[in-house]
Amino acid sequence: SAVISQKPSRDICQRGTSLTIQCQVDSQVTMMFWYRQQPGQSLTLIATANQGSEATYESGFVIDKFPISRPNLTFSTLTVSNMSPEDSSIYLCSVGGTKGTGNTIYFGEGSWLTVV
Amino acid sequence: AQSVSQHNHHVILSEAASLELGCNYSYGGTVNLFWYVQYPGQHLQLLLKYFSGDPLVKGIKGFEAEFIKSKFSFNLRKPSVQWSDTAEYFCAAIFNTDKLIFGTGTRLQVFP
């Protein structure tokens, strides 16, 4: 399995500010994804992080609000921009797909953000 | 649209009771299925997965799930639950893309 490290693990952020979350994987993987888990809810896919090109966003998520970078096969960042209390969530990095980790999706421990 | 549904939102059991959590998906093609567990205050962990072959899949901690293609189902079972099984359980699927789609989750509470 892949070992995924996320930073920060927790943060309290001021309204209107932006925060960048980092995701580091211990091996090269083809697919990297970012999910959001709002309090008491299930996981929602934000976007697929594409290496060397723009991320692919799901309906309801836009690049201006959630810019994503993926400079190589082991690292990605998600920025939550101009935060509001509604952005208080757990943000999870995940890796896998049909290549690299044998069709299994693995998750990092998540970044717990509280916006005040 | 491709989706995963979990009809049991909240399940309460006593220790040693048997557990079955429902999971259905909507897609007629090849599907990879997963169950994840999230213990209180912890991150998501993989319980088990099905890609192909034997439709009865055994996972960690005594859990198993059965893939029934004709019913589009992948129910999670455990013959005897423990208090430590209290957690949120998520069914998820990969359809014809590499994206993992989650169900809404089932909260399981086990009382001693």
Region of poorest pLDDT, from A26-35, A69-78, A93-102, B95-104: A93-102
What is the rounded distance in angstroms from the CA atom of residue A51 to the CA atom of residue A98?
16
Q: How many C-beta neighbours within 10 Å does residue A1 have?
A: 12
Picking from B49, B90, B98, the nearest residue to A97 by CB comes out as B98
Written as six digits, the tokens of B82 are 């423990």
Instruction: Give the residue among A49, A37, A85 at the shortest CA–CA distance from B92.
Output: A37
Angle at B49 between CA B59 and CA B46, to 5 degrees: 70
Q: pLDDT at residue A100 above 50?
A: no
Q: pLDDT at residue B43 above 50?
A: yes
Compare B2 and B1 and report the one with higher pLDDT.
B2
Residue B35: φ, ψ to 5°: -125, 130
What is the rounded distance in angstroms from the CA atom of residue A96 to the CA atom of residue B81?
30
Model confidence band, residue A33 (pLDDT cutoffs 50, 70, 90): very high
pLDDT tens for residues B46-65?
A: 999 998 899 999 999 999 99
What is the rounded distance in angstroms from the CA atom of residue A69 to the CA atom of residue A62?
14
pLDDT tens for residues B12-21?
A: 999 999 999 9
Shortest alpha-carbon distance between residue A109 and chain B (Å): 5
- Please state whether the peptide bond connecting residue B55 to the residue before it is cis, i.e. omega within 30 degrees of 0: no
Q: Yes or no: say if B50 and B63 are a contact pair by the CB < 8 Å rule.
A: no
Picking from A41, A96, A107, the nearest residue to B44 by CB comes out as A107
The pLDDT score that the predictor gives to residue B42 is 85
Compare A20 and B28 and report the one with higher pLDDT.
A20
Show residues of chain B in contact with A41, CB under 8 Å: 104-105
